[in-house]
Structures are given as C-alpha cells and as structure tokens.
Amino acid sequence: MTSFLIGLFLATLITALFTMRLYRLILWYSLNSLSLALLAITIGFHIGDNSMIVSGFFTLLLKAIFIPYILKRISLRFSLSRQIEPNIPVYYSIMLIPALLVFTFYLAEPITNMLSSNANYVAISISSLFLSLLLMIEHKNIAPKIIGFLSIENSLFLLGTIATNGMPMLIELGIFFDLLMAIVVINLLFKQEEEVKE
C-alpha cells in the first residue's frame, strides 16, 4: 500500500510537469497532496503513531482541499493567465526527467545504504524534490512557481515521514503554520503582479 501511494505521488508530480493549464496543475497538486496524506495516515496506522495520523489529516484538509481552493480563488480574482507554457520544451523534458530520476536514484544510494527500512522510498522522495525544483525552474509565471514551492514542501514532508518515521508533532504543526503564512505572502505577490500588469 505504501509503495502504491508513493507511486501515485511521483506519478502526479511528473504529470504536473507536463501540464499546460493552471487549473489542471492545481488539480494535480491537490491529488499529489491527497496521496501524501493517505500515505502518512497509512504509515501512522501501521506503526501506531498517533501524531503522524493527525498530521496526515491536517495534510488532507489543508493541502489537498484548502490550499488548492484558495489558489484557484486567488487566480480567479486576479484573472491570472490560465495558459502556462513551460520554458523548457516538452521534448527536452522527456529526456531531462528520466535523466534527473536516474541521477537522483544513484545520488541517494549512500543515504539509502545507511537506512535499514524504506530505503527505496527515500530515493523516490529525493527525486521528487528535484522534480518540484524543475517545476519551479521551467515556468515563467508566478502561479506555477508557487505550486512548485508547495510541491517542494510536499516532498520534504514525504522525506520526513519515510526516513525518520515521522518528525515531532511540533515541527509538523510549525510547517503547516509556515505554509499558511506562505499563502498570505502569495496573495500579496499576486496583487503585485496584477499592479505590474496594469
């Protein structure tokens, strides 16, 4: 089950890299967070860690439902352009993404040798970190860059969940609070862009 959800996590992230529409991208981000939340809940039930289950539910509410909804509303309000053409053409991405994945899989090998359990998944979460960086790099518009930033946060959460069997509850809550602050800042950024446009 863990493997299934991790597969979905990476799959939604890769599909987001090829997306050319803003709302579709927000949908993929939401599905990405959904698989992450389900993953945290499953692992939490598996190892009997209540705080991980709680942070999984927070992820579900906040990242899979609330943040995509807010992003969509903000982008509607500021009428951002819904076409987001990536800077890197798709035929380069087709070569770049597998190369990046192979690179990160081998990059993560020293780390995975140190861990005893879930070593494979650490490599996947590091590669998803790089893929979300690519998502930030390949777009000019502000909205996809923000989605890339949020995806980086998702991959870090995945890394924390998988590698350490759950960070302390306080840190998780702190991260969620940071994320909400980030959304407020994003709102301001959008406003700025709107003024620049005018």
Partner 1 sequence: MILYIAMILLMILLSPLVLSFIKMLKMFLLYKKPISIFQGYRDFSKLLSKEIIISKETSQITHIAPYLVLSPLLLTLFFLPPVSSGEYYVSFVDAFTITGLISLSTFFLMLLGLDSASSFGGLGSSREAFISALVEPAMILTLFSVSMMANNLGVGQAGLNLSKHFPYEHMASFIFAGISFFILLVAENGRIPVDNPETHLELTMVHEAMILDLSGFYLALIESASSIKFMIFASLFASLFLPFGLDLPVVLAIGVFILKIFFIAFLVAILEVNTAKLRLFKVPNLLGIAIVFSFLSLITFYVLGA
Give backbone dihedrals phi and psi of 83, rounded to 5 degrees, phi first. Answer: -90, 120
Output 89 or 174, the one with its CB closest to partner 1: 89
Cα 148–chain centre separation: 7
Smallest gap from Cβ 121 to partner 1, in A, equals: 7
Tell me if 4 contacts partner 1 by CB under 8 A: yes
By CB under 8 A, the residues from 32 to 91 that bind partner 1 are: 90-91
d(CA 161, CA 169): 11
Output 14 or 143, the one with its CB closest to partner 1: 14
Per DSSP, the three-state class of 28 is: helix
Tell me if 134 contacts partner 1 by CB under 8 A: no
User: Among 7-15, 45-53, 159-167, 172-180, which window interacts with partner 1 (CB under 8 A)?
Assistant: 7-15
Output 90 or 181, the one with its CB closest to partner 1: 90
CA count, 13 A, side-chain hemisphere, 185: 10
**Identity of the amino acid at 49:** D
Output 90 or 171, the one with its CB closest to partner 1: 90
How far, in Å, are 112, 121, 123 from residue 115 at the CA level?
5, 11, 11
Smallest gap from Cβ 116 to partner 1, in A, equals: 15
Under 8 Å between Cβ of 135 and 16: yes
Binding marks (x or -) toward partner 1, 9..28, rule CB under 8 A?
A: -xx--xx--x----------
Q: Which residues are bridge partners to 83 per DSSP?
A: 21
Output 95 or 170, the one with its CB closest to partner 1: 95
Per DSSP, the three-state class of 21 is: strand
Binding marks (x or -) toward partner 1, 112..131, rule CB under 8 A?
A: --------xx-xx-------
Which of 71, 90, 92, 93 is closest to 82 using CA atoms? 71
Q: Which residues bind partner 1 (CB under 8 A)?
A: 1, 3-4, 6-8, 10-11, 14-15, 18, 90-91, 93-94, 97-98, 101-102, 105-106, 120-121, 123-124
